[in-house]
């Protein structure tokens, strides 16, 4: 049993959420540069220029890339030979969020009750925590602050197996077209296929933690990713929805076995503020 | 942005008539912020026949909930939020003289019709360009609904705030005219 202090988890969660809100990743900056060179629309080009300059300013001044610093989503891959000591795990995570949003000048965007009170919790907690038990004696933490301009444009649908590849393609493209300018394109599209309804949604979210320069290891899924990306970029929606070739930067698919009778598909959209950061303890 | 049109607030319908969808603008003067919660309260006040905490005549509302400012900064990152959520509250504000809105994303048919009727313009700021936009905000004051935190109504003093005319006072709409030009297949 390896012991890991709750305090250390708190510090790392705090650091990850601040870092990913301030600094656009290399993968993302690389995609922006490719896009601005390719973009044919003058308005689209100027939007991409503003997005690039914005990322530079945020990094230089150490301020948030976007004012919507998100609801805090944390993926945890917890090694089964780890014992957490010196405090409560959930409390450690939420303390990390609390301190990150306070000391990092990030916006608190969480309300306590979704339907009736809708009162701001004041510290951006609670986080949405997804824990998976894995082999080994390490903990991997992946921080994903999720803005709701794009979250609100996401969708889940249960297909029949017969609807197959075509059903999946049409649904993803349709969801993106319906979203139009709202999720701050150029977007990244996370797609979860298989499992059960909630598993598909979780896979779609997890797909949004993949670096943009990496394709699916299974060739068939990698091909599907690039085919859907082409379809999306043929839509003309463009940067900020003001027309152009760059509507999405990537389509990331994750899959899981499913039931003989089903084909669940979830689409989770991320805006161009594609924020994710990870650390292994 | 050398080709940008400079405008100062408050604005008149006559000035706004000159603006066409696709024009780049740099806005200077005072603008007010408001999101869902503040809009809801404004409309409730109007329905009760009460006065509004800000005079909207000739003014522009920016749909934004800024992040906190670091010490030494006038404003924190402040990019636009999705405008569609304000659609159901917008028409009563246009009736009260509101002339411009800054946000991102589509507007409803009803709002566009009302904009034509009252000679108002919908500007777009680049969603997510929050750190860049913050540079044009020189001073910030909370003017109403302070309890709403980031959603309170703030008065922003802006200089050369970068925006683009998305829907002009005749109802021309960039979201409808631009994407088809780049559609393939
Ligand atoms: S969708 Fe993303 S970039 Fe747009 S406002 Fe929300 S967090 Fe920011």
The SS3 call for residue B57 is coil
B53-92 confidence digits (pLDDT tens): 999 999 999 999 999 999 999 999 999 999 999 999 999 9
This prediction's pTM: 0.94
Residue A180 has pLDDT above 60, yes or no: yes
Beta carbons of B143 and B53 less than 8 angstroms apart = yes
pLDDT at A170: 98
Residue in A65, A152, A272 nearest the CB of B131 = A65
Residue of B77, B175, B181 to mutate, interface with A, max A Cβ within 10 Å = B77
* Nearest beta carbon to residue B126 from set A47, A106, A237: A47
- Indicate if ligand 1 lies below 6 Å from the C-beta of A254: no
On the question of pLDDT at B185 being above 90, the answer is no
**Residue B1: predicted pLDDT:** 47
Angle at A252 between CA A249 and CA A257, to 5 degrees: 170
Number of neighbours of residue A109 by Cβ within 10 angstroms: 24
Q: A272 vs B22: CB contact, 8 Å cut-off?
A: no
Domain that holds residue B42: 5-182
- Atom index in ligand 1 nearest the CA of residue B81 equals 5
Report ipTM for this prediction.
0.92
> For B118-136, what is each residue's pLDDT tens digit?
999 999 999 999 999 999 9
Write down the mean pLDDT value for chain A: 97
CATH code at position B53: 3.20.130.10
Nearest ligand 1 atom to the CA of A151 is 1
Write down the domain spans for chain A: 2-21+65-146, 149-274
List pLDDT tens digits, range A30-85. 999 999 999 999 999 999 999 999 999 999 999 999 999 999 999 999 999 999 99
Q: Is A43 exposed, middle or buried (0-12, 13-18, 19+ CB in 10 A)?
A: buried
Answer whether A67's CB lies under 8 Å from B156's CB.
no
The total number of structural domains that make up chain B: 1
Compute the average pLDDT of residues A21-26: 96
> Tell me, what DSSP letter sits at residue A38?
H
Q: Quick one: which atom of ligand 1 is closest to the CA of A271?
A: 2
Task: Look at residue B13 in the predicted model and tell me its pLDDT.
Answer: 87
A185 and B127 Cβ atoms separated by less than 8 Å: no
Query: Cα(B179)–Cα(A140) distance, rounded to whole angstroms?
Result: 41
Q: Which residues of B62-87 are buried (b: 16+ CB within 10 A; e: fewer)?
A: bbbbbbbbeeebebbbbbbbbbbbbb
For residue B3, the model assigns a pLDDT of 81
pLDDT computed for residue B115 by the predictor: 97
**How far is it, in rounded angstroms, from Cα A212 to Cα A189?**
11
Nearest to A173 by CA among B63, B183, B78: B183
Structure tokens at A65: 């890339």
A276: which DSSP letter?
-
Cα distance from A262 to chain B (closest Cα, Å)? 31
What burial letters (b/e) apply to B125-139, b meaning 16+ CB within 10 Å?
bbbbbbbbbbbbbee
Tens of pLDDT, residues A129-174: 999 999 999 999 999 999 999 999 999 999 999 999 999 999 999 9
Q: Tell me what pLDDT residue A91 has.
A: 97
Would you call A43 an interface residue with chain B, using a CB distance cutoff of 8 Å?
yes
Reported as a single tens digit per residue, the pLDDT across A210-259 is 999 999 999 999 999 999 999 999 999 999 999 999 999 999 999 999 99
Query: Could you give phi then psi for residue B20, rounded to 5 degrees?
Result: -120, 150
CATH of A149-274, one of 1.10.20, 3.30.1330, 3.30.70, 3.40.50: 3.30.1330
A105, A182, A234: residue with CB nearest B82: A182
A181 lines ligand 1 (CB under 6 A): no
Q: How far apart are CA A30 and CA B3, in angstroms?
A: 29
Task: Report pLDDT digits (tens) over A84-124.
Answer: 999 999 999 999 999 999 999 999 999 999 999 998 999 99
Query: Which 8-state DSSP code applies to residue A274?
Result: -
Q: How far is A178 from chain B (nearest CA, A)?
A: 11
């Amino acid at each position: 049993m390896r012991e890991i202090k709750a305090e250390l988890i708190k510090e790392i969660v705090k650091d990850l959420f601040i870092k990913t809100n301030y600094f656009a990743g290399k993968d993302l900056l690389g995609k922006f540069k490719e896009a601005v060179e390719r973009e044919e629309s003058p308005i689209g080009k100027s939007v991409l220029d503003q997005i690039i300059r914005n990322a530079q300013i945020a990094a230089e001044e150490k301020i948030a890339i976007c004012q919507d610093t998100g609801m805090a989503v944390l993926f945890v891959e917890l090694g089964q030979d780890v014992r957490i000591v010196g405090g409560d795990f959930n409390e450690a995570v939420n303390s990390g969020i609390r301190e990150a949003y306070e000391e990092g000048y990030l916006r608190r965007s969480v309300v306590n009750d979704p339907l009736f009170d809708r009162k701001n919790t004041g510290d951006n907690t609670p986080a949405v925590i997804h824990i998976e038990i894995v082999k080994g004696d390490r903990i991997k933490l992946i921080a994903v602050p999720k803005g709701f301009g794009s979250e609100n444009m996401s969708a889940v649908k249960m297909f029949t197996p017969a609807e197959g590849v075509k059903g999946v393609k049409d649904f993803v493209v349709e969801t993106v077209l319906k979203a139009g300018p709202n999720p701050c394109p150029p977007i990244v599209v996370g797609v979860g296929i298989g499992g059960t309804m909630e598993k598909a949604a979780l896979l779609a979210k997890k797909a949004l933690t993949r670096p943009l320069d990496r394709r699916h290891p299974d060739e068939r899924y990698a091909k599907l990713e690039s085919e859907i990306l082409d379809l999306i970029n043929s839509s003309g929606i463009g940067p900020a929805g003001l027309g152009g070739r760059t509507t999405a930067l990537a389509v990331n698919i994750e899959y899981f076995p499913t039931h003989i009778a089903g084909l669940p598909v979830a689409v989770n959209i991320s805006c161009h503020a594609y924020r994710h950061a990870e650390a292994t303890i | 942005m050398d080709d940008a049109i400079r405008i100062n607030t408050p604005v008149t319908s006559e000035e706004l008539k000159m603006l066409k969808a696709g024009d780049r603008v740099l806005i200077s003067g005072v603008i007010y912020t408001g999101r869902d919660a503040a809009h809801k309260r404004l409309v409730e006040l109007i329905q009760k026949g009460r006065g509004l905490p800000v005079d909207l005549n000739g003014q522009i509302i920016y749909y934004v909930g800024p992040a906190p400012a670091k010490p030494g900064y006038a404003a924190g990152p402040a990019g636009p939020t999705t405008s569609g959520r304000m659609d159901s509250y917008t028409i009563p504000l246009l009736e009260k003289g509101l002339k411009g809105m800054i946000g991102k994303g589509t507007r409803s048919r009803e709002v566009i019709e009302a904009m034509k009727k009252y000679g108002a313009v919908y500007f777009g700021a680049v969603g997510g360009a929050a750190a860049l936009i913050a540079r044009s905000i020189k001073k910030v004051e909370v003017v109403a609904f302070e309890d709403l935190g980031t959603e309170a109504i703030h008065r922003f003093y802006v200089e050369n705030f970068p925006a683009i005319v998305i829907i002009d006072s005749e109802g021309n709409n960039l979201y409808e005219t631009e994407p088809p030009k780049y559609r393939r297949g």
